């Protein structure tokens, strides 16, 4: 017979071992539930959506960026069958058909460098990020979510949307147009600079400067991580600390 501090008596030592293991499992489960974020604790944003571009909506004055994807920018063009294609406008039009003026529910994951909420959003039970990937009008961002990788692989095999065209990755397009896609902190710091293209200064701290991602790739330096020579926020379109990521363009 085994007696423990819990005042519980066990007839056999093996019974005590089983009880002890069960207690350990319950403690681990409790720690997991306390320390792990849950869907119930995540902030949700609901309301009528106004579409800004292929991966950004506005809900009651709050900008929301779709989590895990990067759509071609509204002003971006691609080349298909030898002709220019307004792929960015098509991306905006698709998201508008799914969400503009409709009730949307979003679950927040983060806040990006543009001060937008980053969230997974649904409109009438349709995952908006998944719909953009399925249409071939956005690329998946596996560093943030792996939820859309299979959908993207299928779109590639079918050459859907941009995968059947020549296109610049959205990150590279933004890097080539830094004035239009500056982080909120930079805009606040220089409110009068929006009317002119900023003069980019050489990074004197490390002596390395690349005019854009194309130059960084040509020099064999890309991708460039935050803190490495040549890294500039202007070249890190999605603000994840990696400038000039492998998604450059498809030819």
Model confidence, pTM: 0.61
Q: Which tokens belong to 32?
A: 């997991």
- Give the pLDDT band of residue 241 (cuts 50, 70, 90): confident
**What tokens appear for 83 in the block?**
């002709």
Q: What is the pLDDT of residue 244?
A: 78
8 A C-beta contact, residue 148 and residue 77: no
Say if residues 175 and 244 touch (Cβ distance below 8 Å): yes
* More confident site: 165 or 196: 165
Q: What pLDDT, on the 0 to 100 scale, is given for residue 82?
A: 93
Instruction: Put residue 172 in one of left, alpha, beta given phi > 0 → left and psi -120 to 50 → alpha.
Output: alpha
Mean local confidence (pLDDT), 152-181: 93
Distances (CA, A) of 79 to 64, 82, 94: 29, 6, 19
Query: Largest Cα–Cα distance of the chain, in whole Å?
Result: 85
Kindly write down the DSSP assignment for every residue of 35-92, as one continuous string. HS--TTTS-EEEEEEEEEETTEEEETTEEEEETTEEEPPTT--EEETTEEE-HHHHHH
pLDDT digits (tens, 9 = 90+) for 177-214: 888 877 654 444 434 433 333 333 333 334 566 777 76
Angle at CA of residue 149, ends 144 and 155, nearest 5°: 135
Per-residue tokens: 182: 């500056």
49: closest CA among 113, 97, 110, 115?
Answer: 97
CB 133 within 8 A of CB 148: yes
CB–CB of 47/60 below 8 Å? yes
pLDDT of residue 11: 59
pLDDT per position as a tens digit, 113-159: 888 999 999 999 999 999 999 999 999 999 999 999 999 999 999 99
3-class DSSP assignment, residue 120: strand
């Amino acid at each position: 017979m085994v007696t423990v501090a819990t005042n519980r008596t066990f007839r056999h030592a093996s019974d005590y071992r089983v009880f002890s293991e069960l207690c350990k499992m319950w403690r681990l489960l409790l720690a997991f539930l306390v320390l792990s974020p849950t869907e119930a604790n995540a902030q949700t944003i609901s309301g009528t959506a106004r579409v800004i571009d292929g991966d950004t909506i506005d809900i009651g004055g709050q900008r929301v960026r779709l989590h895990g994807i990067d759509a071609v920018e509204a002003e971006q063009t691609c080349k298909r069958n030898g002709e220019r294609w307004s792929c960015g406008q098509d991306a905006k039009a698709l998201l508008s058909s799914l969400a503009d003026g409709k009730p949307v529910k979003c679950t927040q994951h983060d806040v990006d460098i543009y001060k937008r909420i980053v969230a997974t959003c649904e409109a009438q039970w349709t995952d908006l990020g998944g719909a953009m990937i399925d249409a071939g009008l956005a690329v998946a961002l596996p560093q943030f979510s792996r939820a859309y990788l299979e959908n993207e692989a299928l779109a590639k095999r079918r050459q859907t949307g941009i995968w059947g065209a020549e296109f610049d990755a959205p990150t590279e397009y933004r890097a080539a147009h830094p004035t239009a896609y500056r982080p909120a902190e930079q805009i606040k710091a220089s409110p009068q600079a929006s009317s002119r293209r900023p003069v980019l200064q050489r990074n004197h701290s490390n002596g390395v400067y690349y005019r854009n991602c194309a130059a960084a790739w040509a020099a064999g330096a890309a991708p460039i991580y935050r803190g490495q020579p040549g890294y500039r926020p202007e070249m890190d379109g999605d603000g994840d600390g990696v400038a000039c990521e492998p998604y450059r363009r498809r030819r």
